[in-house]
Chains A and B, each alone.
Chain A
Amino acid sequence: MSKRYETVIGLEVHVELATKTKIFCSCSTAFGGAPNAHTCPVCTGMPGALPVLNRQVVEYAVAVGLATNCTITKYCRFDRKNYFYPDNPQNYQISQLYLPICRDGSLEIETTLGKKKIGIHEIHMEEDAGKLVHDEWEDCSIVDYNRSGVPLIEIVSKPDMRSAEEVIACLEKLRLMIQYLGASDCKLNEGSMRADVNLSVREFGAAEFGTRTEMKNLNSFKAIARAIENERTRQIELIEAGKEVVQETRRWDDNKELSYAMRSKEDAKDYRYFPEPDLLPIVISDEWIAEIKRRQPELRTEKMARYIREFGLPEYDADILTGHKKFADIFEAAVAVCKKPKKVSNWIMVETIRLLKENEMDPEELSFSPENLAKLIELADSGAINSTIAKEVFEEIFKNDIDPEAYVKEKGLNTVNDEEELRAAVSRVIEENPQSVTDYRNGKEKAIGFLVGQTMKAMKGKANPEIVNRMLKELL
């Protein structure tokens, strides 16, 4: 049955901007910190406190708008969105409704079906709310305003996506772009990028959209994909059963793989938006836009070209390394230390990606320091450890960000070059494997590989394979 239905999806993406200070005061935006450590009269809604706009917020929003081909609103303004909730200290959020900073843009994505343009309806600036902490023991709630006033942009797409694949492609594209602009680190798991999914279904060929629902609490790409599939099925089942889809906001529970209705359109709040009288309209001149463009950091295409030009990397490497901002960051930092670009690239492209896949991790979650990778490369290159050990040590770096030099020393993993020690081991292996010896002597060249392996095993992988090889040949 589901073949007959088309899924229509639009996104509302909140991105926490990477400014050092909050949007309307000079408090730090640092993640964490003791509750209410990063607060002042402004971001706690004290009487008489007034907001002052952080210009960097405007610059980041404009940069994202330009990168998504939006029209920049030259005369834009903030509005107040009124609603009561304790995490919102003023009981209004300073946001934009009437004149958002960016409008009418688009983004090109690539999926298995090819390239496609996704429309951007608008991008607006606003302030984040604080956080409620529910104390079960004391049966009370406490408020932490550290996040209150952290700058956000909300990117609202047009309902142009038709599958989870397109949604993920769109989000990945946005994330990469914003990370390159330096506007945000876009961490879904820490909430610096949050996506709400608006979804409806309709029969193929239908002119009108179906009734949509809005899905919240999606903390990973996988959760987004699961929620889309689930919601699509739920809506189709309702329609098939002759029931109506209710326009409502739903909350995704990723553990149960289910969503719950949060509120319906009937109890949607009237936010009583009106222009924020405490802030002046923002005039964005052509000169300012030019200045923002000029100060833009190196974006992906420029970076790729530079990797090929400056480091002599193959295009294939440069493409993969720049495909995730995190890869590029690690690459550049490690190369700065060890000056061996191709080696660093290999470690990222082979071992790092292998381990990411094995652990079902996102590149964003990489936490090892590039310096440790650089040190490992030095150790392997100097012959202090062999390549098998190097891979083992890298796994430790990947998992626990250990210092490879200290680790190798502590675990005694240095390559054994001592001829006498090796000769004893090789002799023992020859004695214990008469069949292989015979095979080799009868011309089976491959048999020596097995004998090298056995020797390495006996030496717990630490033997210098070149010496072992030479010795075997000598002794046989």
Chain B
Amino acid sequence: MSLTALALGKKIKAKEVSVKEAVTEALEAIEKKEERVHSFITVDREGALRRAEEVQKQIDDKTLTGPLAGVPAAVKDNLCTKGLLTTCASDILCNFVPNYSAQAVLNLERAGAVVIGKTNMDEFAMGSTTETSAFGPTKNPWNLSHVPGGSSGGSCAAVAAEECSFALGSDTGGSIRQPSAFCGVVGIKPTYGTVSRYGLIAYGSSLDQIGPIAKDVADCAAVLEIISSHDEKDSTSLARKDLDFTEALKEDVKGLKIGIPRDYFGEGLDPFVREAVLQAAEVLKEKGAVVEEFDLSLVEYAIPAYYVIACAEASSNLARFDGVKYGYRAKDYEGLHQMYKKSRSEGFGPEVKRRIMLGSFVLSSGYYDAYYLKALKTKALIKKAFDAAFAKYDVILGPAAPTTAPLLGESLSDPLKMYLGDIYTVSANLAGLPGISIPCGSDEKGLPIGLQLTGDCFKEKNIIRAAYAFEQTGNYARSPLGRE
């Protein structure tokens, strides 16, 4: 699995590699590495091999001609996959097998990608380390005593460990970009509404977006092009005519205006991260981009606004998990009320409960105006601040996370500190903006550092272009586990 997804797709098309060989290679890598990295919750060996045969036939008879046909992919376990266990890394969905697939997964399959399994994540995507998973944490392929980030930690680790060619993740407050940074891979959170949310088990509905995670920018652009669609089943899905993201894969940033928010380089930023990110800005400048610093403002309000809105929506979104219709139901209970209480108490982990309680609180009568409504107003102001910034700049450049990947067990004891780690990513969700994280160096321990580029709504091509241009200056670094 050392090849990029596009390179592997090309070989499959040229009949240098069969789909079965590609899928088998991925399954063997999983076999070899999974015990150490634990990227997956479910590996669908038989399904993947069966699907490999079908796809091979369709490639042979030219019904499948796309660039990713036959390429093995992993899907985050909050995306419904028909007939395949979908748990959200929670005990409460420990036995849930959907009878429908998420639209993004259908789009992937239509393009001939082979889904080999479902990746680990923070329970219901709530967390920044993949440690809140009910199935145990995923490890960072660069250093197994560190976390991969989260919540799409499983997807990012699977790509970095080279257990699959690319993966899908979801990003509510940074859940694609932050683990991509920690795992040294590339991840894109597109403009809200670009990828259908149908079949994505909701965390914060107004913030959730599905996006690609891959080895490089070109792969990410290609996958995003495939999974994006206007879906009538998702009312928030957009009808866009500019989904040809791969068109932006040009090494040309001449005249591209890049703004660096001074607010992003204050207290709490790891010096290695700071150095690497500013160095990346220099590189882009050398290539012709116009780079300058500016004051974005309101940065300190993004985290509280985000947690209020996301938790409020989550408290309602997660109400359906009650033991009545599907999923986990407590064994012993008397009456309906106790069944609800026990099923939910036993089924949800502590972080999920914390956020459900927080969300229920901010929506309660008497508190709605003071918290939820205020958070919505803050969200609108943040959007305004970005509008002002994008009137001047094409791309906003900054770190994806204030530090590199923490040690396992380091974050859970202090949830507030963990929440603050989302400072650079949550604003993009609040404002619905596209963002990309690409590797831009490493710290003293050799842990990857991620550069985040944020664009205006619908301007994925700007960030893809800048990221691609930057990527051309360095070599893609493979993780130690990936190289095995």
Contact = CB atoms under 8 A, between A and B. Distances in A.
Contacts of A280: 235-236
A281 to B, nearest CB: 10
B165 interface: no
Given A50-B198, A50-B235, A272 B80 contact: no
Interface in B79-95: 79-80, 86, 88, 93
B235 A47 contact: no
A45 interface: yes
Contacts, number: 99
A165 B71 CA distance: 73
Interface in A20-66: 41, 44-53
A80 interface: yes
B363 A82 contact: yes
B171 interface: no
A270 B325 contact: no
A253 interface: no
Contacts of A274: 312-313, 316, 363, 368, 372
Interface residues of A, number: 29
A90 B197 contact: no
A92 B320 CA distance: 8
Contacts of B3: none
B475 interface: no
Contact of B198 (A48, A90, A91): A48
B324 interface: yes
Contacts of B232: 52
A48 B315 CA distance: 15
Interface in A76-93: 80, 82, 84, 86, 89-92
B316 A47 contact: no
B100 interface: yes
A41 B205 contact: no
A51 B198 CA distance: 9
Interface in B327-350: 336, 340
Contact of A272 (B200, B234, B316): B316
B340 A84 contact: yes
A6 to B, nearest CB: 32
A439 B201 CA distance: 95
A443 interface: no
A280 B193 CA distance: 11
Interface string A368-409: 000000000000000000000000000000000000000000
B364 A272 contact: yes
B319 interface: yes
A277 interface: yes
Contacts of A91: 319-320, 322
B339 to A, nearest CB: 9
B321 to A, nearest CB: 8
A201 to B, nearest CB: 28
Interface of B: 79-80, 86, 88, 93, 96, 98-100, 102, 197-202, 204-206, 232-236, 312-313, 315-316, 319-322, 324-326, 336, 340, 360, 363-365, 368, 372
Q: List the 8 closest A-B pairs by CB distance, nearest first.
A: A91-B319, A272-B363, A277-B205, A277-B206, A48-B199, A47-B201, A45-B320, A48-B80
23 contacts: A46-B325, A47-B98, A47-B201, A47-B326, A48-B200, A49-B100, A49-B199, A50-B198, A50-B234, A52-B232, A84-B319, A86-B336, A90-B320, A91-B320, A143-B324, A143-B325, A272-B360, A272-B363, A272-B365, A274-B313, A274-B316, A277-B204, A278-B205
